[in-house]
Amino acid sequence: MNQTESECLLLLNDPRKRSQAFSQLVRLYQERIYWHIRKMVLVHEDTNDVMQNTFMKAWNGLDGFRGESQFLTWLYRIATNETLTFLTSKRNKEQAQTDDRDLFLANNLHADPYFNGDELQLKLQKAILTLPEKQRLVFNMKYFDDLTYDSMEEILGTSTGALKASYHHAVKKIEKYFEENE
């Protein structure tokens, strides 16, 4: 039984069907949320952990979802916050400099059995890793997830102008990386 988001959202209000409706919403969006997180975290196992935390937070916060935005937008916001929290925690635990962390992430990407991209994709991912976290996040959301600036503004709580500037700077840095690493 596959239901649409709107049908599931209506069922969330029925305590007897809440769990079933939430499970259906997870099935609807788990792949998109997985890849949203994965583009920042890079490691499959860590991505699964962050994704599990995301859906647990969503389940525990269902009463706080007011329906003012799409459910997927709300999930993206939770996933983004969980991802940033995870990356900060990991950075603090490793006490690594940004360059060391990016090298570590790039090496993980190259050795990751789940990464099946060609050399150009690998080069793009390495270029993305050179970006500051905020620019990396904005670039991934715009380029890979094809989110609108309005959606990103809702998810990140950042103005459209700032998002456009972040995306522009990210693109320029990626272009420069490609020029310098031909």
Residue ranges in 12-94 assigned as alpha helix (H): 18-41, 44-60, 71-94
pLDDT at 95: 59
Whole-angstrom distance, CA of residue 119 vs CA of residue 127: 12
Give domain status of residue 64, yes or no.
Answer: yes
Shared-domain flag, residues 74 and 39: yes
Q: Which two tokens stand for residue 80?
A: 């983004």
Q: Which two tokens stand for residue 152?
A: 């990103």
Give domain status of residue 25, yes or no.
Answer: yes
Domain end point (choices 96, 116, 136):
116
Q: Which two tokens stand for residue 172?
A: 């320029």
Shared-domain flag, residues 146 and 179: yes
Whole-angstrom distance, CA of residue 75 vs CA of residue 82: 10
Q: What is the CATH number of the domain that holds 14?
A: 1.10.1740.10
CA angle, 74 then 49 then 147, to 5°: 35
Whole-angstrom distance, CA of residue 114 vs CA of residue 123: 16
Shared-domain flag, residues 106 and 130: no
| Structural domain containing residue 175 | 126-182
pLDDT at 160: 95
Cβ neighbours, 10 Å, residue 55: 20
* Number of domains present in the structure of the chain: 2
Shared-domain flag, residues 106 and 52: yes
Shared-domain flag, residues 76 and 151: no
pLDDT at 96: 47
Give domain status of residue 121, yes or no.
Answer: no
**Average pLDDT, consecutive stretches of 10 residues, N- to C-terminus, the chain (182 residues):** 78 91 94 94 93 97 87 94 91 60 53 57 85 92 91 92 96 93 83
Place of tokens 């500037």: 165
Domain end point (choices 60, 89, 116):
116
Whole-angstrom distance, CA of residue 46 vs CA of residue 114: 13
Give domain status of residue 95, yes or no.
Answer: yes
Cβ neighbours, 10 Å, residue 14: 10
pLDDT at 104: 53
pLDDT at 6: 86
pTM, rounded to two decimals: 0.78
Contact by Cβ (8 Å): 46, 86:
yes
Give domain status of residue 36, yes or no.
Answer: yes
Whole-angstrom distance, CA of residue 167 vs CA of residue 62: 31
Instruction: Tell me the HSE value of 105 on the side-chain side, using a 13 A CA sphere.
Output: 26
DSSP 131: S
Amino acid identity at 159:
S
Phi and psi at 6, nearest 5°, equal -65, -40
Amino acid identity at 137:
L
